Amino acid sequence: MLSKEEMKSYLKEHLTESRYNHTLSVVETAIRLAQIYKVDKNKAEIAALAHDIAKNMTIYDLKSIIDENNIKLSYDEEKTPELWHSIVGPIVGKKIFKIEDEEILSAMRWHTTGRENMSKLEKVIYIADMIEPGRSFPGVDLIRKESFNDLDKGILQGLTHTIKYLLDKGFPIDINSIKARNYLVLNK
């Protein structure tokens, strides 16, 4: 695997400045959450560093990688290119950063939508991405506060916020976000 410094220099070159800064903030936030919730700090740091590795690729490049790897998108995924960077992220993370750890790759894969019955590492990356200090949207402070008190409550609020936002905008909602939220509601 590449060193964290090598990963950073790749990201600095392949991400926009704002996306790179977001990534560093997600790293800081993920490390803090990992310490609180007893998640492997090193894995959290690497997953956070790599989570948006594919974010600034063109949708054409993202689609080519999806096709080359014989990934079958659902009809809904096909129509939602915002989700593609999280589908492609683990593939690029494996190839360029030489990440082999399945827990890290899975945290990268599910960072945008979440999923049913998430691992603690998946939860930390999902919510760190949403609450890093650079994020400002109505309600973020509450989700931030809750996430440092009770991880599942923070995630539930985060999922509820995103689903409401997508509903208001008239956007389609990924089935994994619904399943992630239902799971938390049913297993409180």
The residues of the shown chain that bind ligand DGI, judged by CB under 6 A, are 22, 52, 55, 80, 82, 86, 111-113, 129, 162, 166, 171-174, 177
Residue with tokens 């809750």: 146
Residues that bind Fe ion (CB under 5 A): 52, 129
| Type of residue numbered 133 | P
Cα-based distances in Å from 152 to 25, 31, 48: 21, 17, 19
And the tokens for 167?
A: 């509903």
Q: Which is nearer to ligand DGI, 132 or 146 (CB)?
A: 132
Question: For the chain, how many residues are written?
Answer: 188
* Closer CB to ligand DGI, 29 or 112, in the complex: 112
Q: Residue 43's binding partner, choosing from ligand DGI, Fe ion, none, with beta-carbon cut-off 5 to 8 A by kind?
A: none
End-to-end CA distance of the chain: 37
> Does residue 167 contact residue 181 with C-beta atoms inside 8 Å?
no
Residue 187 CB, nearest distance to Fe ion (Å)?
Answer: 25
- Closest approach, Cβ 171 to Fe ion, in A, equals 16
| Residue 132 beta carbon to ligand DGI: minimum distance, rounded to whole angstroms | 9
Taking the complex as a whole, the smallest distance from the CB of residue 113 to ligand DGI amounts, in Å, to 5
How far apart, in whole angstroms, are the C-alpha atoms of residue 156 and residue 101?
A: 26
45 versus 129: smaller Cβ distance to Fe ion: 129
